[in-house]
Amino acid sequence: MSLNKARPEAIDVLLTRRSVKTRDMIAPGPDAPALARILEAAMRVPDHGKLTPWRFFVFEGEGQEALSAIIIRAFQQENPDCTSAQLAKMEGFARQAPLLVVLASCPSDAKPIALWEQQLSAGASAMAMLMAAHMLGYVGQWLTDWPAYSPAVHSHLGLGSGDRIAGFLFFGSAAAQPTERPRPNIADLVRFFGTEADEGE
Ligand SMILES: Cc1cc2nc3c(=O)[nH]c(=O)nc-3n(C[C@H](O)[C@H](O)[C@H](O)COP(=O)(O)O)c2cc1C
């Protein structure tokens, strides 16, 4: 495939991606071939030093149930005075969409590549998964919340001390067309130097 060939339809897809809240997600989630494509996209991200500083944990059905049980137990232990609403939220956390991919940033010290760069690569991986899901006709949302920082959840995944949960990537189908979220203006956030866009500044 020529890298110099414009693909205007692809940019349209890129510019229509948006998150859909998990409460507005329904089945089906990505099937096995779609999930394979999503994971392929997740690993085709810039990765300084080829360190593959990320790992993926896929949860569906019983896997989500087991993770829910771990989250609720850990949450209760750490927050004995929590409200029933907080408990219910944690109870449903891992099961809030048909498919969950937990993305962990797992930096390596095999080469002198900055930790920050390796963590950025995990962020790129999350974004690639959201994009891939969108292109395959599914929706996604990237969440963290309390479980991302829970040692019990880290332990369940076998994460090491330097590893972090970059996100819980939830996937499903959209129950309805969501309203558009306001997006930033290019002019508010970008400064141009020596480009066509800075003429007249
Ligand atoms: C690292 C990270 C963690 C996030 N965690 C949460 C979260 O815990 N809860 C939440 O409501 N949104 C969270 N968000 C925001 C949503 O994923 C998403 O950005 C937001 O719903 C708007 O989506 P869109 O700009 O993709 O349409 C997080 C975003 C990032 C990048």
* Distant-in-sequence, close-in-space partners of 43: CB < 8 Å, separation ≥ 6: 52, 54, 125
Q: Is the pLDDT of residue 159 over 60?
A: yes
Q: pLDDT tens, 84-136?
A: 999 999 999 999 999 999 999 999 999 999 999 999 999 999 999 999 999 99
Total number of domains constituting the chain? 1
The number of beta carbons lying within 10 Å of the beta carbon of residue 129 is 28
Determine, yes or no, domain membership for 33. yes
Determine, yes or no, domain membership for 13. no
pLDDT band at 1 (very low <50, low <70, confident <90, very high): confident
- By residue range, what is the domain housing residue 36? 20-59+96-175
- Sign of the torsion angle spanned by Cα atoms 156, 159, 165, 166: negative
Q: Does 157 show up as a binding residue in the annotation?
A: no
28-42: average pLDDT: 98
169-196: average pLDDT: 94
Q: Does 68 show up as a binding residue in the annotation?
A: no
Q: What is the CATH number of the domain that holds 111?
A: 3.40.109.10
C-beta 144 within 6 A of ligand 1: yes
186-197: average pLDDT: 92
C-beta 18 within 6 A of ligand 1: yes
Determine, yes or no, domain membership for 4. no
Ligand 1 geometric centre to CA of 23 (Å): 14
Determine, yes or no, domain membership for 48. yes
165-174: average pLDDT: 98
Determine, yes or no, domain membership for 15. no
Q: Does 142 show up as a binding residue in the annotation?
A: yes
Determine, yes or no, domain membership for 128. yes
Q: Is the pLDDT of residue 191 over 70?
A: yes
Contact 97, 142 (CB under 8 A): no
